[in-house]
C-alpha cells in the first residue's frame, strides 16, 4: 500500500509485539499468576540477573553444580540457552535434563549436573510465571503455541501485514520458517532471500535446511550464482 509503514522485525521481535498486544489472553492461556497486571519483558542480561538470583543460593547453600568449574555467569547463561533451545526446537522445558542425559556417554556422575540444570530451569520458568516475567523462551512459546494458533490474534497479524521481505532465511530458526510457511498463502506479495553459501550461524540455532524448504512455497525461484551473473529461473520450481 502506498505510504504504508515498513516494520522491521525478527521472530523474537514479532513474538514480543504480539505477546504485548494480546497479553490478557496470552497470560491466562500460558498460566501466569497475575494476568491482570502488565508483562515484564526480559533481555538476556535481565534474564541472567533473575537466574542468578534463583540459582546462586542453590550453589552456595545446597551444593548444586559442585563438580562444575566454569564461571557462574556462563553457567547461568547455559541454563537460559537450554530454555531457548527447547522453545526453538519445540519440546517442553521439563525435558531438558532428560535429553541432555540421554546424549551423555561419559562419567555417570556428570548426570547429576543435568538434573541440577533441569531443576534450575524449572524453577526459573515458574518464577517467571509467578511474576509476569517473559524471557525469550516464554515469548517464543506463547507466540507460536498460543497466539499463532488462535484465530483472532493470527488474523490480526496476517491482515495487518500484507507484504513480506524475508532476508537471511538460511540463518533463521526452524519455527520461524514454519510460521512463514503458514503465513505465505495469506500475503499479497513476498520476497524470500536465501544465501546458499551462508548458513554459518547454524551453530547458533539457524536451520538452513528448513529455510531452503520454503522455496517450494514460492511462485518463482531465481538463482544468482555470482555478482555479475544474470538471474536464472530455477527449473526445479515452476511458476504457478
**pLDDT tens by residue, the chain, 240 residues:** 445 678 999 999 999 999 999 999 999 999 999 999 999 999 999 999 999 999 999 999 999 998 888 899 999 999 999 999 999 999 999 999 999 888 776 676 677 899 999 999 999 999 999 999 999 999 999 999 999 999 999 999 999 999 999 999 999 999 999 999 999 999 999 999 999 876 666 656 789 999 999 999 999 999 887 665 555 555 443 333
Quote the CA–CA distance of 6 and 210 in Å, as a whole number. 26
pLDDT at residue 5, rounded to an integer: 79
pLDDT at residue 238, rounded to an integer: 34
All three cell numbers of 207:
536451520
Torsional sign, CA 30, 35, 40, 46 = negative
Quote the CA–CA distance of 185 and 189 in Å, as a whole number. 9
Place of cell 531443576: 119
Q: Strands 163-166 and 189-192, how do they pair? A: parallel
The reported pTM is 0.87
List CB contacts of 142: < 8 A, sequence separation 6 or more.
15, 19, 26, 29, 30, 134
User: Cα separations (Å) of 195 from 169, 183, 191, 202, 238?
Assistant: 8, 21, 13, 13, 20
Quote the CA–CA distance of 224 and 236 in Å, as a whole number. 15
Q: Where are the domains of the chain?
A: 15-141, 162-233
Burial annotation 107-127 (CB, 10 A radius, 16+ → b, else e):
eeeeeebbebbbebbeebbee
Give a three-class secondary structure readout of 147-167.
Answer: HCCCHHHHHHHHHHCCEEEEC
DSSP letter assigned to residue 145 = I
CA–CA–CA angle 237, 238, 239 (5° rounding): 120
- Count of C-beta atoms within a 10 Å radius of residue 185: 9
All three cell numbers of 238:
515452476
Of 119, 114, 118, 123, nearest to 50 (Cα)? Answer: 123
Amino acid at each position: 500500500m502506498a505510504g504504508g509503514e515498513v516494520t522491521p522485525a525478527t521472530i523474537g521481535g514479532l513474538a514480543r509485539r504480539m505477546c504485548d498486544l494480546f497479553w490478557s489472553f496470552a497470560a491466562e492461556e500460558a498460566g501466569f499468576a497475575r494476568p491482570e497486571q502488565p508483562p515484564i519483558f526480559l533481555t538476556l542480561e535481565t534474564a541472567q540477573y533473575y537466574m542468578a538470583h534463583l540459582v546462586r543460593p542453590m550453589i552456595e547453600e545446597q551444593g548444586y553444580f559442585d563438580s562444575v568449574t566454569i564461571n557462574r555467569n556462563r553457567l547461568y547463561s547455559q541454563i537460559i540457552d537450554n530454555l531457548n533451545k527447547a522453545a526453538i526446537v519445540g519440546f517442553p522445558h521439563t525435558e531438558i535434563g532428560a535429553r541432555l542425559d540421554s546424549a551423555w556417554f561419559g562419567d555417570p556422575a556428570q548426570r547429576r549436573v543435568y538434573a541440577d540444570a533441569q531443576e534450575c530451569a524449572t524453577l526459573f520458568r515458574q518464577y517467571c510465571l509467578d511474576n509476569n516475567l517473559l524471557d525469550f523462551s516464554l515469548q517464543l512459546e506463547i507466540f507460536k503455541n498460543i497466539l499463532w494458533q488462535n484465530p483472532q490474534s493470527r488474523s490480526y497479524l496476517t491482515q495487518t501485514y500484507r507484504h513480506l521481505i524475508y532476508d537471511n532465511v538460511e540463518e533463521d530458526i526452524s519455527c520461524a520458517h514454519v510460521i512463514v510457511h503458514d503465513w505465505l498463502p495469506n500475503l499479497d506479495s513476498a520476497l524470500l532471500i536465501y544465501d546458499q553459501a551462508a548458513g554459518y550461524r547454524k551453530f547458533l540455532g539457524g536451520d538452513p535446511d528448513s529455510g531452503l524448504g520454503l522455496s517450494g512455497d514460492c511462485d518463482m525461484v531465481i538463482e544468482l550464482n555470482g555478482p555479475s551473473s544474470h538471474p536464472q529461473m530455477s527449473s526445479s520450481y515452476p511458476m504457478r
